[in-house]
Amino acid sequence: MTQPPVEPSPETPGAVRIYWHLPARRPYVTYLILASCILIYLGQRLSQTLFGDDLLIALGAKVNSAIVQGQYWRLLTPLWLHGSILHLAFNMYALWVIGAGLERYYGHGRYLALYLLSGYAGNVVSFLMSPEPSVGSSTAIFGLLAAEAVFIYQNRHLFQNARGMLMNIGGILLVNLILGLSPQIDNWGHLGGLIGGLAFAWSAGPVWETTYQMNGYHLTNRRKGSQALWVGLGVAVVFTLLVVLRVGWL
């Protein structure tokens, strides 16, 4: 993500100093997710070597029949499981490219909520719409991509080429959704993650406003953490109710 231009040179006549207050300087949550996914994948490979089967996949994949029987953790644990080294590499690269910058604008807590809610929403929609088992963090990554688009749109006055950036994100989404038509890819999970990320980001993502103080102009987020908390709870409740209704009908 491109940071809006800042003009910090008071020596230049007419220059204005603008302070850009990022909630997070280092993307520690992204680092943690990357490390945990890699370590768990190593655990998957070790399980295959020692026991001849991937016990972590068996215990944590999105499997509809197991979820109906009460194993609801399977709506979150697939975020840390991957089917192959290429699957892991592609998702971790996407997480780094999208997530590291986004976390700096969202802050650690708000970003973690976005990631988990997007992944949860993706697995819920997959549970509702697809009978096939699935794993992977791409449900959450699609939510991050939606959140990046929302952030740029809602703060478009800060970007020099917001339209071009949004078109680029739209193109990436379209290509990946088309690729998701392959039978091996859980496109319903991608769509669910996209919806979950969009729902959270639209009402809880950072919206920056300019305020003047004695030492210059400051860009600060006008959406407080409490708003993000309530929006996050609302999104989680909506998708949980969908699971409850579906299980009740079966």
Contact criterion met (CB below 8 Å) for 108 and 25: no
130 catalytic per annotation: no
Of residues 190, 203, 218, 226, which has the active-site annotation? 190
Reported residue count of the chain is 250
Contact criterion met (CB below 8 Å) for 57 and 103: no
Of residues 138, 182, 203, 226, which has the active-site annotation? 138
Whole-angstrom CA distances from 85 to 98, 144, 146 are 20, 22, 25
Q: For residue 121, give every residue at least 6 positions away whose Cβ sits within 8 Å of its Cβ, in sequence order, or none.
A: 139, 143, 192, 193, 195, 196, 197, 199, 235, 239
Whole-angstrom CA distances from 123 to 142, 150, 168, 224 are 12, 22, 26, 28
216: left (phi over 0), alpha (psi -120 to 50) or beta: left
CA 58 to CA 62: how far, in whole Å?
Answer: 9
Residues known to be catalytic = 138, 190
